[in-house]
Amino acid sequence: MKNIALVTGASSGIGKELARIHAMNGGDLVIVARREEELENIKADLEKTYKIKVVVIALDLSIFGAGTALVNEVNKRGLEIDYLMNNAGFGGYGEFYQRDLEKEKEMIRLNITSYVEITHGILQQMIKRKKGKILNTASTAGFIPGPLQAVYFATKAFVVSFSQAIDQEVKPFGVTVTALCPGPVQTEFKNVAGMKNNPLFKRAKSARYVALIGYRAMLKGRLIAITEKSLSVFINGVMFFMPRRTVLKIIQKLQKH
């Protein structure tokens, strides 16, 4: 196998599109998600259409230690990862004190812990070979606190900060880290998060659109890839001139449905 990309959350949404884009560019794949049957269908389609090789690893990355288990499996198979795309994740809607604590902890394990474990393990390979690119799916939610999605927004803030810090550390080794920060996206996320009817998703971008921006930004070694210009202006400009409590009220109001 050559030009191998490891993509988590590859059974649907942005992850599935990232896998397809990499296959279109002639790269081989390791695709990871919980749903093995769906992964096998994707493997058959990509191998037939693009004449590349795909390895399927069915794994629930929200389980304690799953990220490390994935790295161990990759190493056991002798797979050298050139592109790591940490994409698996989910959100949850509601006031924090009313939400199920175990679900919040599961979200932290998937959205944060798996990224840390997988990135740490794959970086050992990349640094040794002095090459590699990492794309971490964060969110524009990572730049602001999120009343009604407190833990989700906080997990994405971690990913944004973590990605930039690691990028600075690994630059001398020829490795780059990019944080992909989309706004609302038309994926299964809104249903899983309990936000199916939320007005924020009426103008949501397609998973394909977001994946293309992220993939291209990763190839260029960009630090941050915000997919919507209007959100970029708000985050990088307007928000900093507004009182913090005003920002919090706006975010809370936007999320109510």
Total number of domains constituting the chain:
1
Residue 115 annotated in active site:
no
Indicate if the alpha-carbon torsion angle 8, 139, 160, 114 is positive or negative: negative
What is the model's pTM? 0.86
Active-site choice (83, 93, 152, 215): 152
Under the banding of pLDDT at 50, 70 and 90, the label for residue 193 is very low
* Amino acid (one-letter) located at 68: T
Is residue 14 pLDDT above 90, yes or no? Answer: yes
- Rounded average pLDDT over 57-75: 97
What is the tens place of the pLDDT at every residue in 17-51?
A: 999 999 999 999 999 999 999 999 999 999 999 99
| Residue range of the domain that includes 25 | 4-255
Identify the CATH number of the domain in which residue 45 sits.
3.40.50.720
Provide the b/e sequence for 236-252 (b: ≥16 CB within 10 Å): eeebeeeeeeebeeebe
Q: Give the pLDDT confidence of 169-192 residue by residue, as tens digits.
A: 999 999 999 999 998 877 655 454
